[in-house]
Amino acid sequence: MTDEPRPRPIAGGAPAGGAVPEPTFADVNRDVLATLGPPGNLYFAWMCVVGLILACGILAWTYQIYFGMGAAGKRTPQMWAMYITTFVFWIGIGHAGTLISAVLYLFRARWRTSIYRAAEAMTIFAVLTAGLFPLIHAGRMWFAYFLLPYPNQRYLWPNFKSPLVWDVFAISTYLSISTVFFIVGLVPDVAALRDASTGWRRRVFAMLSLGWEGSDRQWRHYRRAYGLFAALATPLVLSVHSVVSWDFAMALVPGWHSTLFAPFFVDGAIFSGFAMVLVLVLPMRHFFGLHAYIRDRHLDAMAKLILVTGLVLTYFYACEAFTSWYSGDHFEKASLFWRLTGSYWWALGTMYFCNCVSPLILFWKPARTSPVILYVVSILVLIGMWFERFNIIVPSLAHDFYPATWGIYVPTITDSTIIIGSFAWFFLLFLGFIKLMPSLSIVEVKETLSAPVKDLRHAGHH
């Protein structure tokens, strides 16, 4: 990453044929601290690219605020279009982090430890990105506080029967709990940073670590609290995307009104979330030389999860088509037929190829540990999952019950730029994070290593 040679992590580095040795506790501290070293030119180059794209996005948003929502190509019946597509996409991305840190924690899947910090950061940044879209989409976003229940002189309260209000609650709770989870996990690691640094950095880290010492009293409550957070976050992971799906499923629009939507959305969210984890973790492993921590078996495990959720998603697609045909409902059948053959058939084709066909290569064992194949599949999955949400929103709204209101949506430069800008915003946050905080959990990685033991005769049972 840097121009001047930095000492490669002894335990890390690309494996040269042989097996990578297992790191010791001290190796973990050294290698994770090394990721926080001064960034090189490549890093700044990426930051500049991402910053420029973000600036374009902000300009486009300013243009939209000034000239109105027509700039975003919004005209009846296409009032949701790409903003809500991208909103659902980002919420979906935000699923993998808390799934890894809560659900896999409860299932004692130990391979989670080396990727969970990056995945949690990804979750928070993805939800922060998603949170922008209701504001962008609402147009006059300075009235966004209308969404919250607060006493006001008009005696108005939100309609708690509306899925859109549920969504506000679901997403704010998810963001809050994920952030708490993330920060609690960081505290012991920041203490390790404090003990390894000097000067003003030490003072900042000392404050952020809350004076953590790793004493038995602290660990006792910490462990208990962590288990409880995981137990609270597990149903939350499943609830968020279910609630998002009800934004659609509770409406009567053909193509939306389906009880299948909650599990269908949750599965898709996990699918795309893991793809994004791979997109972030593979370069991290490459540039930071973290091969000793993010091993091939971690990639293999993630690839298997992508494969499984991809197959489940394929099943849901089949179910969706079957139920609309079997329902006998004229509008459902017409909606399905039009989606398959109408103006957006290419979007549906892209989705089927990316989500159903491309992950199938992961049945082949070498593909599951090949960074290049995994990266390509992950990108395809992300594209496919974006199109899935597009296919739910746009074609369904285009042809609903009443032919006189049918209408096609065409993207504009303004809304496309805002959407590309949202990716830049996400990557800017993530790039900033990996240089400020340990992107690999020092404590949790150590927990999976065998603890140092003097008398090796008794070492076996750990």
Residues 6+ apart with CB under 8 A from 356: 310, 313, 314, 317
Residue 22 or 447 with smaller CB distance to other proteins: 447
Residue 86 or 242 with smaller CB distance to other proteins: 242
The amino acid sitting at 395 is P
Residue 398 or 442 with smaller CB distance to other proteins: 442
Instruction: Check if the beta carbon of residue 270 is closer than 8 Å to that of residue 305.
Output: yes
Q: Give me the least distance between CB of 30 and other proteins, in Å please.
A: 9
The amino acid sitting at 62 is T
Residue 3 or 216 with smaller CB distance to other proteins: 216
What six digits make up the tokens of 404?
């006189």
Residue 180 or 373 with smaller CB distance to other proteins: 180
Q: Give me the least distance between CB of 72 and other proteins, in Å please.
A: 29
Residue 108 or 328 with smaller CB distance to other proteins: 108
Distance of CA 157 to CAs 152, 153, 321, 421, Å? 8, 11, 39, 34
Q: Give me the least distance between CB of 190 and other proteins, in Å please.
A: 10
Q: Give me the least distance between CB of 177 and other proteins, in Å please.
A: 5
Residue 82 or 233 with smaller CB distance to other proteins: 233
Residue 210 or 357 with smaller CB distance to other proteins: 210
Q: Judge residue 65's burial from the number of C-beta atoms within 10 Å of its C-beta, 0-12 exposed, 13-18 middle, 19 or more buried.
A: middle
For residue 215, report the phi and psi dihedrals to the nearest 5 degrees. Answer: -80, 160
Distance of CA 222 to CAs 98, 213, 234, 309, Å? 18, 12, 18, 32
Q: Give me the least distance between CB of 428 and other proteins, in Å please.
A: 28
Q: Give me the least distance between CB of 245 and other proteins, in Å please.
A: 12
Q: Give me the least distance between CB of 442 and other proteins, in Å please.
A: 8
Q: Give me the least distance between CB of 205 and other proteins, in Å please.
A: 11
Residue 305's closest CA among 87, 88, 115, 22? Answer: 115
Read out DSSP for 97-152? HHIIIIIHHHTT-GGGGGTHHHHHHHHHHHHHHHHHHHHHHHS-GGGGGGGS----
Residue 5 or 108 with smaller CB distance to other proteins: 108
Q: Give me the least distance between CB of 454 and other proteins, in Å please.
A: 4
Residue 73: Cβ within 10 Å count = 17
Residue 120's closest CA among 265, 280, 256? Answer: 280
CA distance 126 to 141: 20
Residue 195 or 300 with smaller CB distance to other proteins: 195
Q: Give me the least distance between CB of 210 and other proteins, in Å please.
A: 4
CA distance 120 to 96: 8
CA distance 33 to 189: 10
Enumerate binding residues for other proteins (CB under 8 A): 24-26, 29, 149, 155-161, 165-166, 169-170, 172-173, 176-177, 180, 184, 188, 191-192, 194-196, 210-225, 228-229, 232-233, 235-236, 239, 243, 442-444, 446-447, 451-455, 458-459, 462
Q: Give me the least distance between CB of 225 and other proteins, in Å please.
A: 4
Q: Give me the least distance between CB of 266 and other proteins, in Å please.
A: 15
What six digits make up the tokens of 25?
């506790």
Residues 6+ apart with CB under 8 A from 191: 205, 209, 212, 213, 214
Please tell me whether the peptide bond between 403 and the residue prior to it is cis, using omega within 30 degrees of 0. Answer: no
What six digits make up the tokens of 360?
């199938």
Instruction: Check if the beta carbon of residue 355 is closer than 8 Å to that of residue 314.
Output: yes
CA distance 247 to 167: 8
Residue 339 or 446 with smaller CB distance to other proteins: 446
Residue 48 or 225 with smaller CB distance to other proteins: 225
